[in-house]
DNA sequence: CATATACCGTGTCTCACGGACACAGTTATT
DNA sequence: AATAACTGTGTCCGTGAGACACGGTATATG
């Protein structure tokens, strides 16, 4: 299942074809969206590992094998879930590229935070769905007229998206009053007694804890990236 | 297996405890490192999905169940593989923070490129291993004396690492003359006939293809981030 | 030196999950 | 009315993770 080479085209058709015309047999009782939504609900509740064909099938009220009439396999189901879960991009268009990209990035981070499993699902070679491509379109459009090349605009969008994904993931692990606090405690305990081996981290950690450590890694990366993009735009405009 | 809440402490002990003292029974025939290396080899060859207890056991010459004498479960094995595969960080220390971080980031990206499965393995709540913490230490140390706070230094390291991870992944998917080219073809085919819906991407893509599209997303993100960090350092120094 | 105690590797079993396949029922086409 | 295509279902199999009890082995204790 993990290595299903055949099917990029099939997956693309699944994600992009709206619906085939009138067919002969009995009319389907389900829709792709209903199936995907059931999967999203299961993943939101209990993680991506809890998304099983059986469970999704029960959620929509059919047998496990009935799902295979709609979806070639589980990988494709997850791809569908991703596009449905991430949803369409907001269309702010304030007019200024920086404000637009900032809002775009925060909105994307919020989506990832709402669907933590999406980070695990966006790994590896993938076919982009309509919504995902919509997000990319908005970011590239925001950079229109700034003097960046097309490749640079796409790179910028990819980097900003990567930041939102990676840093939100880290935030999800650090924040929340769940058993994740135990993780931070484990790390702190690990550091204790090893300050000689990791002096810089030890000092930084001590300082952070003193200041009331929260994780602003996403915001930090966002601002640094925007500053860097701004510098590039300025350089391009000068010549 | 995916949801094993118990064991952060056990995993930490596994990753960090060097070796217990002399024990009573027969001496173990294997070492943790040998097991981890076998796993790394399997993952490098056929992907993370091909890493099965059975296969790793065969590679080291024991039965599947013998591995459980060394490792609590597969998740822990993968965590071990990650730390072994990523290896220790280089210690360049050129003296200038920017050069150091640049080399650091490129080295990390190279490691990820060498072990593509590591990107999938670094997802979710994790306990850092010695090598992983070593990488963090080097990055934070490079920012010593720049005027950044400890929290900012840690954030910077996390963001740079996130960029290396996410962008290298994308590069691995786009490059190479494998069936991934088919993916790009699918995307291009998708875009064709939808330029009205995704005008910005269409224009950017056309321009990129004309210029001979390569993926420099990692380098782009790296330079933008370093520029942004440099701007922050300059601001801090001014007051 | 003898014995108990802990530990090592193995074989067998169970369970969960993804997926193949054949079958019966349903509906649009001819 | 007959046919062809499509839908949902039940049954089956392969694979992989992990539980558990067993026999063998090396160290600590008397």
Q: How far apart are the C-alpha atoms of B156 and A205, rounded to whole Å?
A: 14
pLDDT at B179 exceeding the cut of 50: no
**Amino acid A235: pLDDT:** 96
pLDDT at B4 exceeding the cut of 50: no
Confidence band for B5, pLDDT divided at 50, 70 and 90: very low
Rg (CA), chain B: 22
**Amino acid A5: pLDDT:** 47
CA dihedral A137→A128→A105→B86, nearest 10 degrees, is -140
Least confident of A120-134, A154-168, B62-76: A120-134
Protein residue closest via CA to C1' of D6 = A25
Confidence band for A177, pLDDT divided at 50, 70 and 90: very low
Q: How far apart are the C-alpha atoms of A45 and A115, rounded to whole Å?
A: 9
Token code pair at residue B50: 């091909």
Token code pair at residue B85: 């595969």
**Amino acid B221: pLDDT:** 98
pLDDT tens figures, A218-230: 999 999 999 999 9
pLDDT at B175 exceeding the cut of 60: no
pLDDT at B212 exceeding the cut of 60: no
Residues 172-231, chain B: which have Cβ under 7 A from strand D? none
A contact residues 55-114, partner B, Cβ 8 Å cutoff: none
Q: Does residue B45 sit at the A interface (CB-CB below 8 Å)?
A: no
B52 touches strand C (CB under 7 A): no
Neighbours of B165 (CB within 10 A): 23
Eight-state DSSP code of residue B89:
P
Q: What residue of B is the nearest CA neighbor of A174?
A: B125
- The distance (Å) linking the CA of A26 with the C1' of C24 is 13
> B8-85: which CATH topology?
Arc Repressor Mutant, subunit A (1.10.10)
Q: What percent of chain A is predicted at pLDDT more than 90?
A: 69
pLDDT at B187 exceeding the cut of 70: yes
pLDDT at B89 exceeding the cut of 70: yes
For chain B, give the mean pLDDT: 88
Least confident of A189-203, B58-72, B73-87, B178-192: B178-192
B22 touches strand D (CB under 7 A): yes
**Amino acid B101: pLDDT:** 98
Q: Distance from A65 to chain B by nearest Cα, in Å? A: 24
| Range A118-133 average pLDDT | 90
Q: What is the maximum span of chain A, computed from C-alpha positions, in angstroms?
A: 74
> B94-175+215-238: which CATH topology?
Tetracycline Repressor; domain 2 (1.10.357)
**Amino acid A199: pLDDT:** 95
**Amino acid B181: pLDDT:** 56
CA torsion sign for B220, B221, B223, B227 is positive
Q: What residue of A is the nearest CA neighbor of B173?
A: A125
Token code pair at residue A184: 């931070």
Which CATH number is A92-175+215-238 given?
A: 1.10.357.10
Q: What residue of A is the nearest CA neighbor of B11?
A: A186
| Range A14-33 average pLDDT | 87
Are the beta carbons of B204 and A153 closer than 8 angstroms?
Answer: yes
Q: Match 């990692």 to its residue by tokens.
A: B218
Q: How far apart are the C-alpha atoms of A91 and A182, rounded to whole Å?
A: 39
Q: What angle (nearest 5°) sits at the alpha carbon of residue A133, between those of residues A129 and A139?
A: 155
Closest among B94, B93, B128, B130 to B17, alpha carbons compared: B130
* Cα distances (Å, whole numbers) of residue A221 to A148, A190, A228, B112: 20, 26, 10, 20
CA torsion sign for B38, B40, B42, B44 is negative
Q: Distance from A18 to chain B by nearest Cα, in Å? A: 13
**Amino acid B124: pLDDT:** 75
Q: Does residue B151 sit at the A interface (CB-CB below 8 Å)?
A: yes
**Amino acid B229: pLDDT:** 98
Closest by Cβ to A227, choosing from B134, B166, B228: B228
Q: Does residue B225 sit at the A interface (CB-CB below 8 Å)?
A: yes
**Amino acid A190: pLDDT:** 83
Token code pair at residue B151: 């929290």
pLDDT at A209 exceeding the cut of 70: no
The full 3-state SS of A73-93, as one line of letters, equals CHHHHHHHHHHHHHCCCCCCC
Are the beta carbons of B97 and B142 closer than 8 angstroms?
Answer: yes
Closest by Cβ to A232, choosing from B123, B156, B224: B224
Q: How far apart are the C-alpha atoms of A76 and A24, rounded to whole Å?
A: 25
Listed by start position, the domains of chain B span 8-85, 94-175+215-238
Q: Where are the alpha helices (DSSP H) in A192-216?
A: 199-210
**Amino acid B209: pLDDT:** 65
CA terminus-to-terminus distance, chain A = 51
Q: Does residue A125 sit at the B interface (CB-CB below 8 Å)?
A: yes
User: In this predicted model, which residue has the larger pLDDT, A42 or B5?
Assistant: A42
Q: Does residue B49 sit at the A interface (CB-CB below 8 Å)?
A: yes
pLDDT at B211 exceeding the cut of 70: no
What are the backbone angles phi and psi of residue B63, rounded to the nearest 5°?
-85, 160
Q: How far apart are the C-alpha atoms of B44 and A150, rounded to whole Å?
A: 34
Q: How far apart are the C-alpha atoms of A223 and A228, rounded to whole Å?
A: 8
pLDDT tens figures, B112-144: 999 999 999 998 778 899 999 999 999 999 999
pLDDT at B224 exceeding the cut of 90: yes
User: In this predicted model, which residue has the larger pLDDT, B225 or A124?
Assistant: B225
User: In this predicted model, which residue has the larger pLDDT, A44 or A171?
Assistant: A44
User: In this predicted model, which residue has the larger pLDDT, A169 or B223?
Assistant: B223
What are the backbone angles phi and psi of residue A164, rounded to the nearest 5°?
-60, -40
Q: How far apart are the C-alpha atoms of A59 and A34, rounded to whole Å?
A: 10
CB contact under 8 A, B123 and A119: yes
Confidence band for B110, pLDDT divided at 50, 70 and 90: very high
For chain A, give the mean pLDDT: 89
* Cα distances (Å, whole numbers) of residue A210 to A198, A221, B150: 18, 22, 11
């Amino acid at each position: 299942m993990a290595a299903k080479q055949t099917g990029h085209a099939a997956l693309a058709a699944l994600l992009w074809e709206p619906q085939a015309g009138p067919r002969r047999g009995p009319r389907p009782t389900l829709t792709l969206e209903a199936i995907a939504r059931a999967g999203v609900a299961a993943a939101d509740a209990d993680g991506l590992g809890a998304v099983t064909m059986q469970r999704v099938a029960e959620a929509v009220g059919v047998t496990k094998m009935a799902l295979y009439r709609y979806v070639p396999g589980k990988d494709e189901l997850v791809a569908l879930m991703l596009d449905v879960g991430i949803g369409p991009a907001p269309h702010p268009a304030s007019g200024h590229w920086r404000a637009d990209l900032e809002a775009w990035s925060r909105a994307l981070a919020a989506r990832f935070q709402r669907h933590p499993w999406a980070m695990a699902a966006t790994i590896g070679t993938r076919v982009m769905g309509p919504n995902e491509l919509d997000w990319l379109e908005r970011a590239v459009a925001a950079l229109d007229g700034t003097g960046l090349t097309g490749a640079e605009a796409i790179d910028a969008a990819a980097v900003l998206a990567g930041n939102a994904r990676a840093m939100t993931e880290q935030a999800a692990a650090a924040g929340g009053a769940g058993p994740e606090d135990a993780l931070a405690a484990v790390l702190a305990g690990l550091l204790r007694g090893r300050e000689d081996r990791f002096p810089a981290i030890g000092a930084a950690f001590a300082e952070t804890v003193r200041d009331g450590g929260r994780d602003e890694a996403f915001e930090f990366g966002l601002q640094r990236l925007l500053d860097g993009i701004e510098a590039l735009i300025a350089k391009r405009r000068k010549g």
